[in-house]
Amino acid sequence: MVTATGAKRWTGRYGLLNTRYHKAALMVFLFVVVAHWVEHITQAVQIYALGWPRPEAGGVLGLYFPWLVKSEWLHYGFAIAMLVGFVMLRHGFVGRSRTWWNAAMWIQVWHHFEHLLLLLQALSGANLLGAKVPTSIVQLAFPRVELHLFYNAIVFIPMVVAMVHHRRPRPAEAKLMECSCARVPVGAGV
Amino acid sequence: MSDVLTATTPVVLLAQGGGHGHELTVGVSVGPTFLRVALLVAVPAVAAFAVLRGFLAEPGRRSLAAVVATAGVAATLELLLSGGLNLSERWAPVLFALLAVPLYLVLSRDERFAPTVDRARRMAPWVFWPAAALAAQQFAQAWLTGAGPARAATMLHTGVVLALVAMAWFVVSRPRRAATTVSVRLGAGALAMVLIAGVGQAMVLRPAAPVPGVIVAAEYDTDDDPIEVLVVPNRPGNNLVRVSGTGALVGTSGAELTPAWPRPGANGAWTVVTLPEGPSEVLVSYGGRTISVAVDTGTATPAPTGFAGPDGAECASALLGRAIARTRPAPDPGSCPDEALTPADADSLRAIVATLAEQGHRWFIVAADASPRGQAADAVVRDAAARLGLEVRLAGVSAGTGPLVVVSGWTAASLTLRANPDADVRPAPWLATEPSLVPGLATLPGGASVDRYRETLREQYPGVSPSVSGYQAWLAESAAGPAENLAGPAR
């Protein structure tokens, strides 16, 4: 493991978040993403397994803070937090894990744009193509609950793949890593 | 907690100085205004680049990216403000993709894709020209085909979005041949001029936002004739929708459209819809199109129940009479005419009975309905008959050619009159309508006051027929001088 030389800053390729604290940062990021993911899965269970009406299916948070779940700020907050996490932590990934992380990141860019569009509509009152409620681009074709369940899935899956590859890098990849995330390089022979 | 900053946020302006302030409260819809301002900044920026491109050296990567991004932002704002395009919704993702690709072409630094990027930029005119042509077609349709304001606005918005797509591809275009470069630049310059005009007019042509409690009246273009739609009283609860054409289906959701039918005493076709509090929409399917009429019932006084009854059209006529007389935009829906008998109408009924007595009649039939007005009128007529020694025979028996005093509402009166075609009909004053309830029945009397009412109604709600109930409501609201004699001749 090679730490960043004299790195005092937090971001960037040799920043602390991508070197010494990359693992911790990824754990925090993973916790946030999983918590968000659980909320969406809970919402899906409430609708499909428990048969709740959609307006009442607000996940776990929605049971205690229904106003919170209806807030586009909350949804946008998650989207921007995830996007910031993807962007800031990407430098620590190399090789295959970088490719998968970038794929997740670019999907999240689009997911974030959809939430930005929803937030803008909620704030301005001007809805997309005159829709009755704030509506995102792909939501013109698919219902919101299922769509964002899908978005979170297609972001989560490559993100997890990236993390797995990052924890089990090939020797060539391990040489390029600046952090201590790798459990053991694959094929290291140690 | 609401995320919406719009919906008549009051803006308080304070005058300066003198140790005291004068407050002026102006209702401003903040959210869409911000978006319009942003759009009217972004579009000229993109258009200016297109016009000046021929005079500029090759712009840097950042400049190109900024212009393309601005076009994308402007197109997004258009989609938020337009209220709908003259395209299927399925094209929205395609339009976004067509706006995203130029951004990638400008920003891409990956050497692996450099040949593809280069080829795409050389082929960009092949996207520019079709998009520009489609945009020009929309603008031409809006300006040259005589489309109504609503339809023209939709076409203009569509043209603006397509023009912005064309502009985005123009920015990244890098054709090899000089002739192609010149033609594309000339085309983009011309499109830029049209784009500026189009977006300016589109912003102005937007339909007025519905105001809670204010009667909604609008005209829409369809594949057949234009259609007028009226939503009365635009309050929470049961509302009447009047459509000028026949064969329209009306409702609040696509799955629950019901036919609008003609009603006695009023022109057009009518149906009842139940509207929730606040903003919603009324759907009208007519002439091959489904029109969405934006309404906002607010949260105040609910609609009187009379609007859903058989004489809802008379109720609507009275409310329209109050509306055209008032300076305030939202008349209190008040009560419907069939909820009470006015003293003037009671006097008219007594005069009718007195006339029957003078003409030597010994009996007559009175046809009333169950409304409070009908019951009160029945009592007035019977009392007057008793005083004058006239017999009141059972209602429901055919009057033959005998006298028939009709004091019910429009719908019941129409049925009664059709069932007694030969009767000597003496209708209550409120039964004077245009069109008349049955052929030959009296319509509105003449006179300067009635003419003023007719004219004002025609100006503000063209196509809506006048009635005595509407005239009386207009008189009461406007204090427009003495009423005309409404006890006109019978059939």
Q: For residue A7, which amino acid is it?
A: A
Q: Is residue A149 in some structural domain?
A: yes
* Cα A72 to Cα A137: distance, rounded to the nearest angstrom: 16
Which residues on chain A are in Cβ contact (under 8 Å) with B35? 120, 124, 126
Cα-Cα-Cα-Cα torsion A135, A141, A147, A153, nearest 10 degrees, comes to -130
ipTM of the complex as predicted: 0.79
Domain boundary at B184, B204, B224, which?
B204
Domain boundary at B147, B177, B204, which?
B204
CB distance from B109 to chain A under 8 Å? no
Chain-chain contact of A128 with B79 (C-beta, under 8 angstroms): yes
Q: What CATH number is attached to the domain comprising B396?
A: 3.40.50
CB pairs under 8 A between A and B: 66
Q: Is residue A5 in some structural domain?
A: no
Measured in angstroms, the CA of A123 and the nearest CA of chain B are apart by 5
The number of domains in chain B is 2
Residue B80: alpha-carbon gap to chain centroid: 20
Q: Is residue A136 in some structural domain?
A: yes
The number of domains in chain A is 1
Confirm if B314 and B291 have CB atoms less than 8 A apart.
no
Q: Name the residue among A72, A124, A132 with its Cβ closest to that of B281.
A: A132
- Distances in whole angstroms, Cα of residue B407 to Cα of each of B342, B357, B392: 13, 18, 13
Q: Is residue B71 in some structural domain?
A: yes
| One pLDDT digit (tens) per residue for chain B, 491 residues | 333 333 333 333 333 333 444 444 444 467 888 999 999 999 999 999 999 999 989 999 999 999 999 999 999 999 999 888 888 888 999 999 999 999 999 999 888 899 999 999 999 999 999 999 999 999 999 999 877 777 888 899 999 999 999 999 999 999 999 999 999 999 999 999 999 999 999 988 866 667 777 788 887 766 667 788 999 888 999 999 999 888 899 999 888 899 999 988 888 899 999 999 888 889 998 877 788 888 888 887 888 888 888 889 999 999 888 888 875 556 666 788 999 999 999 999 999 999 999 999 999 999 999 999 999 999 999 999 999 999 998 766 666 778 999 999 999 999 888 888 888 899 999 998 888 877 777 778 788 889 999 998 888 888 888 999 999 988 888 865 555 554 444 44
Measured in angstroms, the CA of A142 and the nearest CA of chain B are apart by 11
A38-61 burial, b at 16+ Cβ within 10 Å, e below that, comes to ebbebbeebbeeeeeeeeebbbee
* Cα B372 to Cα B111: distance, rounded to the nearest angstrom: 85
Measured in angstroms, the CA of B98 and the nearest CA of chain A are apart by 14
Q: Is residue A70 in some structural domain?
A: yes
Chain-chain contact of A126 with B35 (C-beta, under 8 angstroms): yes
3-class SS letters over B241-288: EEECCCCCEEECCHHHCEECEEECCEEEEEEEEEECCCEEEEEEEECC
pLDDT digits (tens, 9 = 90+) for A89-130: 999 999 999 999 999 999 999 999 999 999 999 998 888 988
Chain-chain contact of A126 with B32 (C-beta, under 8 angstroms): yes
Chain-chain contact of B280 with A140 (C-beta, under 8 angstroms): no
* Residues B53 and B197 occupy one common structural domain: yes
Q: Is residue B61 in some structural domain?
A: yes
How are beta strands B289-296 and B279-286 bridged, if at all? antiparallel
Q: Report the residue of chain A nearest B73, measured CA to CA.
A: A117
pLDDT digits (tens, 9 = 90+) for B411-466: 999 988 888 888 889 999 999 888 887 777 777 878 888 999 999 888 888 888 89
* Cα B115 to Cα A32: distance, rounded to the nearest angstrom: 40
Q: Which residues span the domain enclosing B441? A: 339-478
Which residues on chain B are in Cβ contact (under 8 Å) with A73? 3
CB distance from B41 to chain A under 8 Å? no
Cβ neighbors of B460 (< 8 A, separation 6 or more) are B217, B323, B324
Domain boundary at B174, B204, B234, which?
B204
* Cα B241 to Cα B233: distance, rounded to the nearest angstrom: 9
Q: Which residues span the domain enclosing A104? A: 16-176
Q: Is residue A2 in some structural domain?
A: no
Q: Is residue B274 in some structural domain?
A: no
Which residues on chain B are in Cβ contact (under 8 Å) with A132? 280-281
Confirm if B280 and B192 have CB atoms less than 8 A apart.
no
Confirm if B163 and B134 have CB atoms less than 8 A apart.
no
pTM over 0.80: no
CB distance from B96 to chain A under 8 Å? yes
